[in-house]
Structure 1
Amino acid sequence: MLSSDDYSPRSERMDLDRRCLEECPQLGILDGLRLLNLQHNLITKLQNLSQLRKLVFLDLYDNHVSEMTGIEALRSLRVLMMGKNRIHKMCCLENLSKLDILDLHGNQISRIENISHLSKLRILNLAGNSISRVENLCGLDSLTELNLRHNCISILTEVDRLPHLQRLFLSCNNITRFYELACLGESCSLSELTLDGNPLALETWYKQAVLRCVLHLRQLDMKRITDEDRRMAGVQARKEEEKKRESHKQTIHKEKRRLAIRNAAQQWEGVKACLELPQQNGSKEEVSPENSPAHSPAQSNGLTQEPSPDEPRRVSPGSGPERPTGGSENRLRANSRPNSPRDPKLLEAGGGSIQSLSLSDSHLAELDGDTLRLFGPGALEALERGWGVQTAAAVTVITFRYIHFDAIVQTLPRIRVKFPNLSHLIFLETNISRLPQLAALAQVRRVDQLTIHPEGNPVVSLALWRSFLIYRLHHFNLQRINGLEVTMNDVIAAERMFGTLGHIAASETPRCRLLLLLEESRKRQLQFLLEGRGRRAGLSPEELRDNGKLLGEGLSRALFNYPSRDCSTDSPEEGAVEPSERAAMTEQYLRELVKRASDTNLKGEALHKLWPAMFVEMVRDCVLEMKDQATFRQAGLARLSQASK
């Protein structure tokens, strides 16, 4: 109960703080009351307030109020202080349109809502709640101060829609990224801001980043902004712009690289579809283009095989680097549709600092440290470019992928000249399918490691491929093949397996061919001596001669040769050893078929492009002829009369 000393019927102010009140007292007789202080009590519900029509200031700080129900009738209220209560939801403010200050700090509110109609509200204090998102602020046109300290805010929106906001307090929240403050940059009135206690405040260039976002700021974290701070913000802004441009360039480069590799992979899939020929006599070995009649008789198996008619064959004349013409070469130009949804797994993912050498729609050549990666046939052009001495000397590994081995063979003699320190060759998806193809690697002259991935190279599935490689490249002194060390037992086993075969081949080879091979072997020995490798190593003359013999290919090994497709017969005598008119006729027939199919496809594509214009011209000509009907009838009658005769 209240005594008469607590109030006067004409009083406009009443102070009832710290009275241990559990409910609002009956104050109906005080219809002129304007200020009511109920701080530090035990009030749980707002009752007996509906008759206080003139109440302007209501202070309920530090009570036990859990709901705002009961203040709807206070239409004249301008200041509502309900901090440090137990309120869960902002509500019952529909009729308080004159509200100027709303203090709900230290409650349990999780969302900002039901206040957009308070157009006269100047100060809103929601500090110490559980708000995670700044929202629903539209309509607060008079708000000048917004206090959201000690919340869980991570997303900031609609602050730029407060036209008169001057002070915004966001200390001790969960704002981690600067772009969450982007809406503050649109505010033209904001002058004071606090962000201390947020994760982003720990960033090195925190102050400069905020000043770059909010240009009109005068105070940050209760400290005045100086001209030096703004100058540093400008410097940092320029650095950030440069970093963004560089990042954008890197992003574009990575995307172009990804598309180029993917298109090279898809082109390779189209090539494989055209090269997969039906098997003969139950053989498990895939028939590769080296077995086709387009090659020399010594490399042909004598079987004429055609691709399945159901396989896609899209011929793209002029695509890829220039190559010698031939039946199998035209098949190599078959290309799958670029940018199709299929995206194969890329084992050669680029990392680190990558220097691009060439970039186009379907091939890519890139230098990553000491590794040169080549994707697609067009990437072989990078081997023909002028290389700096230091750059070329740094290359120790070359990786080929999505390139047919026959195209690589043409570049092997020049690789050693271009890259003197090359020690490792990697072949992946290069269609190495026969043992004679491995013999072509002898043109590189020296290499320490070879890696031929099973993916796209059927030769790895053959049982003797590793032994043949060790035997044929014995003068290379190979150390590792596919990651496995080459031991002396491997060398002895390879010699036992293929040595006798090489001796038989040497005895059956024509004399002219043997002389040519022997001459080549002597050239290599002489080159070894002239280069002075032995002298640099401090070897004796006898050791020099022995090493020269080891370096040069043995005669029996040199007979296991894989000639390039553009090489001609060494001599008329050798060309007459194994004449094959049937193979020549088959090759010519296949060339004509492929050429005819290519020409037909080109004509069809040209007609498809020109037909709309041709159709328009035909219609126009007909309309012009029929424009003069009399002349048209006479011409028609004349043609009919001539036809009847």
Structure 2
Amino acid sequence: MGPERPLLPPAAALPSGLTGDLGPQPHRVKPRRATHSAGAINSHSTSPLTLPTGPGDAISLSENSSSSFPIAFRSRDDCALSPERLDLDRRGLEECPLLEGMGRLRLLNFQHNLITHIHNLSHLRHLAFLDLYDNHISQMSGISALASLRVLMLGKNRIQRICSLDNLTKLDVLDLHGNQISQIENLSHLSELRVLNLAGNCISRVDNLQGLDSLTEINLRRNCISTVTEVDQLPCLQRLFLSCNSITSFDELACLGESCSLYELTLDGNPVALETWYKQAALRCVLQLRQLDMKRVTEEERRMACVTARKEDEKKRESHKQAMHKEKRRLAIRNAALQWEGVRACLELPAQNGAKEEISPEASPAHSPAQTNGLALEPSPDELLEAGGVNLQSLSLSDSHLAELDGETLRLFGLGALEALERGWGVQTAGAVTVIAFRYIHFDAIVPTLPRIRVKFPNLSHLIFLETNVSRLPQLAALAQVRRLDQLTIHPEGNPVVSLSLWRSFLIYRLHHFNLHKINNLEVTMNDMISAERLFGTLGHIAATETPRCRLLVLLEESRKRQLQFLLEGRGRRAGLSPEELRDNGKLLGEGLSRALFNYPSRDCCNEGAMESSSECGAVMEQYIQAQVQRASDTNLKRESLYKLWPAMFMEMVRDCVLEMRDRPAFRQACLNRLSTQGK
């Protein structure tokens, strides 16, 4: 634990005349009250009373009516022997006596008495050492005039507040241990103070240490301290005693790491000292320590602490870097959400707004897990899109979009994140991507990228759409542009199409060639496929019947291309193929013609499709148009000729009828003959 009272200053540091014996150290036993005390003297007596000699000096005390304080006298021989020191230890004094003829005193000892107030010392202009240890003092008043004081011992009293030290600028040692002080204060002017003892008080926080530029030792044992600050502002501090306090973490001692002079520290008796990593943490906190808890620190321990400190610093830097990236990531996702909401609000029609107002979010099928057509949506949207793994790699990050690769999952937030699909992907990296998740991107903006996704990520098997504004069944048909899919997730949040009762059946029918295994984490069964065929098969047949011939030829040409490519690769149907191989063959042959009619091309796709098909079906379209123009021209010419010939034709028709019917019997016979001839 170390000494409770600070060591006295070395002889060289004491004023001249104080280099001899400084008197006995304070005893820990209860002081013995003197046989005769000043309070026992008759207040009207004027004869001096010589107190018995003890550990201190022999003096005479007297009291008269003109003063309420006892008066201390020393013999001429005693004064000549030690004129600069006076020891009044264990005299049972209740007041400080008037020290007549002792103005040359430099050392005064009042240990182990019953003094309650400090009086009668202002005339001791040369006093350098004052010891009032173990008394009943509650106020520090009465010492402000002792400007030459170098050592002040006020331990084991009843002092509650540090004060009256304004003029004691030469103070070197201040001992206030064992009092009732709750706050460090009024010390900033003591620039020459070297030793400060505040052990055994009620201090809860170490602060207000500015200005103590010469302080080398501070004792704060047995307090209630939980936080230490401003120690790094003490340029000469070498020893700091904090044993038996309430420090629970080295975070409360962060300022110690900034101190360049501290080499001895005690923390035993604190909760933090019970941790297994306590010693290593202490040496990391204060790298230059020579002693910890009164034990020498070895070079090996210091070396290990330095290595650990470097690792901790690297870990903190990496943690800070990750925290910064996490915050940027959060802001990018938040701004992408705000931008997406703004664009969606501009695109929505009034009728749609009215429809949305009729259904509360709680009652909407898109927000009610129990009313999503029996769909099991696991995991949640945050788990699907926002939870980053250990292999998280940021591909594109800005204020309004985020693209990141997490293992096998590619996550895209915001419209600008689609640019990541255009970057140069390595074959191995692109081949590892099996899941692509879209959020805060309108589906119509995603559609033009689907053909490139099909080529760039050959092992893609799962697409996730969350808050992408998929609102109509034809939009789902655009997914047919992807090479293959085993699983598809369209979350109800931000996708109104999920609230439609037939959306899942339409998706199964339209993407039949994909042979989907799961939709929204729900297995696709044979009954689901049969039901979808019954619902949309007839509609597809009607669509194929009513579609213009030129459009059918274009679709048929695309289908034939796929089949031809399949056959040229030598992967046609052969005898003995397993069901799995037949299923894969079905995927390669592509969707049927009736299913291909349910298409949802974007504007960009329309333009690109028109440019690509113009060279292939231009002749057919031109021939068809020319035939229609010729037919219309011929019809117009016939109409004009009819208008010109009609009057004469009409007259001839009337004349022929009149002539034929003029002889009725002959007319009837002629009609019968024609009918008989036609019957044969």
| TM value normalised by structure 1 | 0.66
Q: What is residue 45 of structure 1 aligned with on the other side? A: 116
Q: What is residue 609 of structure 2 aligned with on the other side? A: 567
Q: What is residue 185 of structure 1 aligned with on the other side? A: 258
Equivalent position to 1:351, from 362, 376, 388: 388
One-letter code aligned to 2:466: L
Q: What is residue 630 of structure 1 aligned with on the other side? A: none
Over residues 221-273 of structure 1, what are the superposed CA-to-partner deviations in whole Å (9 max), with x where a residue is unaligned?
44445655665565556545544554454355445434544444444345334
After superposition, the Cα gap between the structure-2 partners of 1:547 and 1:226, relative to the gap in structure 1 and judged at 3 Å, is closer
Q: Distance in 1 between matches of 2:115 and 2:530?
A: 97
Structure 1 residue 503, shift from structure 2 partner:
2.0
Structure 1 residue 386, shift from structure 2 partner:
3.9
One-letter code aligned to 1:567: G
Over residues 409-442 of structure 1, what are the superposed CA-to-partner deviations in whole Å (9 max), with x where a residue is unaligned?
2222332443333232111232322211101112
Q: Distance in 2 between matches of 1:250 and 1:224?
A: 39
After superposition, the Cα gap between the structure-2 partners of 1:186 and 1:25, relative to the gap in structure 1 and judged at 3 Å, is closer
After superposition, the Cα gap between the structure-2 partners of 1:393 and 1:63, relative to the gap in structure 1 and judged at 3 Å, is farther
Q: Distance in 2 between matches of 1:192 and 1:81?
A: 23
Q: What is residue 501 of structure 2 aligned with on the other side? A: 463
Match of 2:445, SS state, is: helix
Percent identity of paired positions between Structure 1 and Structure 2: 68
Match of 1:111, SS state, is: coil
Q: What is residue 206 of structure 1 aligned with on the other side? A: 281
Equivalent position to 2:154, from 65, 68, 82: 82
After superposition, the Cα gap between the structure-2 partners of 1:127 and 1:528, relative to the gap in structure 1 and judged at 3 Å, is farther
Correspondences of 1:386-405 after superposition (within 5 Å): 386-405=424-443
Over residues 535-574 of structure 1, what are the superposed CA-to-partner deviations in whole Å (9 max), with x where a residue is unaligned?
9xx9636875576447742332222122333311673557
Match of 2:504, SS state, is: helix
- The answer on whether the counterparts of 1:176 and 1:198 sit within 8 Å (CA) in structure 2 is no
- The answer on whether the counterparts of 1:200 and 1:206 sit within 8 Å (CA) in structure 2 is no
One-letter code aligned to 1:497: L
The count of aligned residue pairs is 511
Structure 1 residue 450, shift from structure 2 partner:
1.8
Q: Distance in 2 between matches of 1:230 and 1:553?
A: 73
Query: Is 1:4 aligned with 2:54?
Result: no
Equivalent position to 2:199, from 127, 130, 136: 127
Q: Distance in 2 between matches of 1:542 and 1:135?
A: 81
Q: Distance in 2 between matches of 1:204 and 1:165?
A: 21
One-letter code aligned to 1:540: L
Equivalent position to 1:166, from 220, 238, 241: 238
Q: What is residue 317 of structure 1 aligned with on the other side? A: none
- The answer on whether the counterparts of 2:204 and 2:226 sit within 8 Å (CA) in structure 1 is yes
Correspondences of 1:407-486 after superposition (within 5 Å): 407-486=445-524
After superposition, the Cα gap between the structure-2 partners of 1:154 and 1:359, relative to the gap in structure 1 and judged at 3 Å, is same
Q: What is residue 361 of structure 2 aligned with on the other side? A: none
One-letter code aligned to 1:185: E
Equivalent position to 1:68, from 127, 133, 140: 140
Q: Distance in 2 between matches of 1:494 and 1:577?
A: 36
After superposition, the Cα gap between the structure-2 partners of 1:533 and 1:153, relative to the gap in structure 1 and judged at 3 Å, is farther
One-letter code aligned to 1:46: H
Q: Distance in 2 between matches of 1:62 and 1:163?
A: 32
Match of 2:609, SS state, is: coil
Equivalent position to 1:13, from 86, 97, 100: 86
Over residues 456-502 of structure 1, what are the superposed CA-to-partner deviations in whole Å (9 max), with x where a residue is unaligned?
43323333222211221233333333344444444343333222211
Structure 1 residue 104, shift from structure 2 partner:
1.4
Q: Distance in 2 between matches of 1:221 and 1:511?
A: 96
- The answer on whether the counterparts of 1:260 and 1:361 sit within 8 Å (CA) in structure 2 is yes
Q: Distance in 2 between matches of 1:384 and 1:124?
A: 70
Structure 1 residue 405, shift from structure 2 partner:
2.1
Q: Distance in 2 between matches of 1:578 and 1:200?
A: 91
Over residues 595-639 of structure 1, what are the superposed CA-to-partner deviations in whole Å (9 max), with x where a residue is unaligned?
xxxxxxxxxxxxxxxxxxxxxxxxxxxxxxxxxxxxxxxxxxxxx
Q: Which has the higher contact order (CA 8 A, sep 6+)?
A: 1
Q: Distance in 1 between matches of 2:426 and 2:191?
A: 72
Over residues 253-310 of structure 1, what are the superposed CA-to-partner deviations in whole Å (9 max), with x where a residue is unaligned?
445434544444444345334423444998879xxxxxxxxxxxxxxxxxxxxxxxxx
- The answer on whether the counterparts of 1:120 and 1:143 sit within 8 Å (CA) in structure 2 is yes
Structure 1 residue 355, shift from structure 2 partner:
0.8
Correspondences of 1:548-567 after superposition (within 5 Å): 548-549=585-586, 552-563=590-601, 564-565=605-606, 566-567=608-609
Q: Distance in 1 between matches of 2:355 and 2:585?
A: 41
Unpaired runs of at least 5, structure 2? 1-35, 38-49, 60-72, 79-84, 358-381, 627-680
Q: Distance in 2 between matches of 1:487 and 1:44?
A: 98
- The answer on whether the counterparts of 1:178 and 1:209 sit within 8 Å (CA) in structure 2 is no
After superposition, the Cα gap between the structure-2 partners of 1:348 and 1:107, relative to the gap in structure 1 and judged at 3 Å, is farther
Match of 1:411, SS state, is: helix
Unpaired runs of at least 5, structure 1? 286-344, 580-645
Over residues 373-427 of structure 1, what are the superposed CA-to-partner deviations in whole Å (9 max), with x where a residue is unaligned?
1123333233344433443333222111233323322222332443333232111
Match of 1:460, SS state, is: helix
Q: What is residue 68 of structure 2 aligned with on the other side? A: none
Q: What is residue 22 of structure 2 aligned with on the other side? A: none
Match of 1:356, SS state, is: strand
Q: What is residue 185 of structure 2 aligned with on the other side? A: 113
Structure 1 residue 521, shift from structure 2 partner:
4.8
- The answer on whether the counterparts of 2:118 and 2:137 sit within 8 Å (CA) in structure 1 is no
- The answer on whether the counterparts of 2:470 and 2:495 sit within 8 Å (CA) in structure 1 is yes
Q: Distance in 1 between matches of 2:593 and 2:411?
A: 34
| TM value normalised by structure 2 | 0.63
- The answer on whether the counterparts of 1:211 and 1:230 sit within 8 Å (CA) in structure 2 is no
Match of 1:112, SS state, is: coil
Match of 1:165, SS state, is: coil
One-letter code aligned to 1:133: R
Q: What is residue 373 of structure 2 aligned with on the other side? A: none
After superposition, the Cα gap between the structure-2 partners of 1:39 and 1:393, relative to the gap in structure 1 and judged at 3 Å, is farther
- The answer on whether the counterparts of 1:137 and 1:159 sit within 8 Å (CA) in structure 2 is yes
Q: Distance in 1 between matches of 2:565 and 2:269?
A: 74
After superposition, the Cα gap between the structure-2 partners of 1:146 and 1:439, relative to the gap in structure 1 and judged at 3 Å, is same
- The answer on whether the counterparts of 1:439 and 1:561 sit within 8 Å (CA) in structure 2 is yes
Match of 1:471, SS state, is: helix
Larger Rg over CA atoms: 2
After superposition, the Cα gap between the structure-2 partners of 1:370 and 1:210, relative to the gap in structure 1 and judged at 3 Å, is same
Q: Distance in 2 between matches of 1:191 and 1:543?
A: 76
One-letter code aligned to 2:116: K
After superposition, the Cα gap between the structure-2 partners of 1:498 and 1:219, relative to the gap in structure 1 and judged at 3 Å, is same
One-letter code aligned to 2:219: N
